[in-house]
């Protein structure tokens, strides 16, 4: 049986996700940004919360853990490398581990950079990637911890997933990401088309997620840090793609 994904808004610009395993009836929240928003989504669906899967320690992803645990007795799974920064974790996972939700399985992939212990959850059977702040539509998260090299390696691991993968990220930043991407990769036809689609979606009040990983591979400059034209834009011809990735990230930080 399938995994149902429910998408809703939380806080100012967070996305919230409930994933429901039909076979077992178990439901997990991907991160815990806002208790009221998660409770409302559960009520609308008629589901009860059995699990919470945490990607990283930032407050806008963990703030509701305590309230949701108390209300539902939910089991909380999160990154072992950030256990000292996240209150309420019951199960600690690392890169390569598998998290079960009834009959559904989520591969844990480490994606350092936004935070050192950031992880994402990949549902390979159904083609879903819950990327939190490691990968956005047309962007990636700010590099608050660590260095560009490991962050680029993590991004490449996500890029290697199948094109048909649908990505559910942590925030609605796509419009600003598109504007920046066009400023450094203006001749990219795939990016131009994607930016137009994004503008239409936002004008209609619709979210830009989930998005196709295959489309993002063609348009997201952070996934294209090894493209010659982006190296050329920064005067880094022949340089290590990690250096180009760092230049792109610095450019976005000051855009």
CATH number for the domain that contains residue 225: 3.60.15.10
Mean pLDDT of the residues in the chain: 97
Is 187 marked within a binding site?
A: no
Q: Is the pLDDT of residue 229 over 80?
A: yes
Q: pTM score, two decimals?
A: 0.96
Number of domains in the chain: 1
Residues 142-159 pLDDT 10s: 999 989 999 999 999 999
Task: Give the other-Cβ count within 10 Å of 36's Cβ.
Answer: 10
The label of the residue with tokens 């340089």 reads 239
Indicate if the pLDDT at residue 105 is higher than 70.
yes
The answer to whether 58 is annotated as binding is yes
CA distance 147 to 116: 9
Count Cβ neighbours within 10 Å for each residue of 78-91 and write b for 16 or more, e otherwise: bbbbbeebbebbee
> Per the annotation, does 118 bind a ligand?
no
Answer yes or no: is 56 a known binding residue: yes
Residue 96 has pLDDT above 80, yes or no: yes
Which residues contact residue 110 at a Cβ distance below 8 angstroms, ignoring those fewer than 6 apart? 79, 81, 94, 95, 117, 118, 119, 154
The percent of residues above 90 in pLDDT, for the chain, comes to 98
Residue 95 labeled ligand binder:
no
User: Domain range spanning residue 102?
Assistant: 3-253
């Amino acid at each position: 049986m399938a995994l149902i994904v429910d998408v809703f808004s939380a806080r100012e610009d967070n996305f919230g996700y409930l994933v429901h395993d039909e076979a077992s009836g178990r439901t997990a929240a991907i991160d815990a940004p806002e208790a009221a928003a998660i409770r409302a989504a559960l009520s609308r669906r008629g589901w009860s919360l059995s699990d919470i899967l945490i990607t990283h320690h930032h407050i806008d992803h963990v703030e509701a853990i305590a309230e949701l645990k108390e209300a539902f007795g939910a089991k909380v799974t999160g990154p072992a490398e950030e256990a000292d920064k996240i209150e309420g974790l019951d199960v600690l996972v690392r890169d390569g581990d598998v998290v079960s939700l009834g009959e559904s399985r989520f591969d844990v992939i480490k994606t350092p950079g936004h935070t050192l212990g950031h992880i994402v959850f990949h549902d390979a059977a159904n083609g879903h990637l819950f990327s939190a702040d490691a990968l956005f539509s047309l962007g990636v998260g700010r590099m608050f911890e660590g260095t560009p090299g490991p962050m680029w390696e993590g991004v490449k691991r996500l890029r290697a997933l199948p094109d048909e993968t649908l990505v559910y990220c942590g925030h609605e930043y796509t419009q600003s990401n598109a504007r920046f991407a066009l400023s450094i990769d203006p001749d990219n036809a795939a990016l131009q088309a994607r930016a137009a689609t994004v503008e239409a979606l936002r004008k209609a009040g619709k979210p830009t997620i989930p998005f196709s990983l295959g489309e993002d591979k063609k348009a997201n400059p952070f996934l294209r840090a090894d493209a010659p034209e982006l190296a050329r834009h920064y005067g880094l011809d022949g340089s290590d793609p990690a250096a180009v990735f760092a230049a792109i990230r610095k450019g976005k930080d000051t855009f």
